Amino acid sequence: MSRVTDRHKADDEDVAQLKFGASFTDGETQMLSISEVRLLLDGIERSAEENGKAAPDTAVYNKTKDYVNTFARFRDNDLAEAVRGGLPAPDFHEYESVQLMNLCPMEAEEAKALVPSLKMDDETLQQHLSELTNARKGQQNMA
């Protein structure tokens, strides 16, 4: 099925320009990293267990749980919050913070290739990326 679009109409969404659809600009929606989703699902399971209920057991839930367990970069709630807080709002849009947490690029050039909306100078960006890398390494040393 093809979608008919108006070729002269400006695009509503373009993440490279930090333009998001209505569902992301309503002021109530928060973007979450994979690590934060993992912690949220863990909380749901803990809550169900404490209340004597069974944890969700659907195909979608289980696949999501497998995915976040595989790809979450930060396994501790405090560390995930610290990393999110370490990517300060004046420097990064919420989308950029989440993408940097998910991808954990090592170099500024790589980060800008993966997240084209990043417009800061390479030196400042590299400092933030180094902090991300140190947080991940510190977590691995604790495990």
Residue pLDDT tens, the chain, 143 long: 555 555 555 567 888 888 888 877 777 788 999 999 999 999 999 999 999 999 899 999 999 999 999 999 998 888 888 888 888 878 899 999 999 999 999 999 999 999 999 999 999 999 999 999 998 888 766 55
Tell me how far apart the alpha carbons of residues 138 and 15 are, in angstroms, rounded to a whole number: 31
Rounded-to-integer distance, Cα 45 and Cα 54, Å: 8
- The reported pLDDT for the residue numbered 3 is 59
Q: Is 91 helix (H, G, I), strand (E, B) or coil?
A: coil
Evaluate whether residue 55 is within a structural domain: yes
C-alpha closest to that of 98 among 24, 21, 11, 23: 24
CA distance 105 to 114: 8
Let me know if residue 64 belongs to a domain: yes
Structure confidence at residue 142 (pLDDT)? 59
Please check whether residue 14 lies inside any domain of the structure: no
Which domain CATH number covers 91? 1.20.1250.40
Number of folded domains that form the chain? 1
Boundaries of domain holding 41: 34-142
Q: For residue 29, is it within any domain?
A: no
Whether residue 5 is contained in a domain is answered as: no
pTM over 0.75: yes
Residue 133 lies in a domain: yes
CA angle 20, 24, 26 (to 5 degrees): 120
Count CB neighbours of 33 within 10 A. 23
